Amino acid sequence: MNAFIVECIKANKEIYNYINQELTAEDFQYHGSLGEGGDKSLNMDLKAESIFIKYLSSFGNIYSEEIGYIKTNNKNQKNNTIIIDPLDGSNNFASSHPYYGTSVALECDGKVIIGIVCNLINGSIIIRDENNILNRYDLDANLLKSENFEYSQSKIGIFERSYAYPNLCLKLHDNKLKFNSYTLI
């Protein structure tokens, strides 16, 4: 297993342990400023982001949904960019809706070579590499399953802020494509 994956698993484990053992009411509060993705960042978003930066900054520059581009000055990895959503599903987290995690991608020379998603509810990690190998790990980096297969057609997509795109919603409906939309209160 390469070093980037090992460090990403360590970061996810620290975030998972924090959420399950050290979480405070303050973590559910909004930071007050808009993140790079256009939403307000929770304190937990920023906590998770700092954990990822600690573990992954030696592998290249980082682009985070929360604070944007972070130049790490790592000359050996100057062609790498790590793209993170440190708490993917922040509003689900804040609403105690058990559907949130982390998302990380490693891009080298403009091509994504590794994608990593961690389910922070059950601690499972799914990693897809540039060879289309899909590996499932637990938070102790134990390989649970490895598969090599192609998806001919994705079965699910996430459509955030669908209310802002009524014409696109109509096109999806006209083409008999299912989608879910959530309203945050």
Residues 114-137 have pLDDT tens digits of 999 999 999 999 998 888 788 899
Domain boundaries, the chain: 3-156
Q: How many CA atoms lie within 13 A of 73 on its CB side?
A: 0
For the chain, list residues with pLDDT below 50.
Answer: none
Write out the E strands in the chain: 30-34, 40-42, 61-64, 68-70, 80-88, 101-108, 111-119, 124-129, 133-137, 143-148
The third-level CATH classification (topology) of the domain covering 3-156 is Fructose-1,6-Bisphosphatase; Chain A, domain 1 (3.30.540)
**pLDDT for residue 152:** 54
Does pTM surpass 0.85?
A: no
Residues 18-28 have pLDDT tens digits of 999 999 999 99
**pLDDT for residue 142:** 87
**pLDDT for residue 40:** 83
Backbone angles phi, psi at 139, to 5 degrees: -75, -5
CB 61 within 8 A of CB 71: yes
